[in-house]
Structure 1
Amino acid sequence: MSLVPILLLGLCGILVGGVISLSRQGASKFSIGLVAALALLALAGGVAWMMPGDS
């Protein structure tokens, strides 16, 4: 089992917490959207890394 998907999913959780914190603090929509997009990328990367592949 590789360590990379665990780290990516952990990063996703931290970023989701950041989105919640930013929205509660009344941050700009751009900053909330940027952090949310990064969280989605980390989630997609973690899930894609766990998919079975040819190699």
Structure 2
Amino acid sequence: MAIVLFLLAGFLIGGTIQLVKSGATKFSIGLVGALALLAAAGGVAWLLPGDS
């Protein structure tokens, strides 16, 4: 599952870069960037050892 989250984060980071280049609104850039950070954080959290 971590690999899927990192893949998603990569696509979202690429999308954020394209939004910046195309001059999109700051809201859309921030939203996609925040989703990318959440996906990357989820991937890292998935890799951490847990009690399960």
TM superposition score category, shorter chain reference: over 0.9
TM-score (norm: length of structure 1): 0.93
| Structure 1 equivalent of residue 22 of structure 2 | 25
Q: How many residues are treated as equivalent by the alignment?
A: 52
| Structure 2 equivalent of residue 34 of structure 1 | 31
Match of 1:16 among 13, 17, 25: 13
TM-score (norm: length of structure 2): 0.98
> How far apart in 1 are the matches of 2:31 and 2:51?
33
- Structure 2: 5+ residue stretches without partners: none
Identity of aligned residues (%): 65
CA RMSD of aligned residues (A): 0.3
- Structure 1: 5+ residue stretches without partners: none
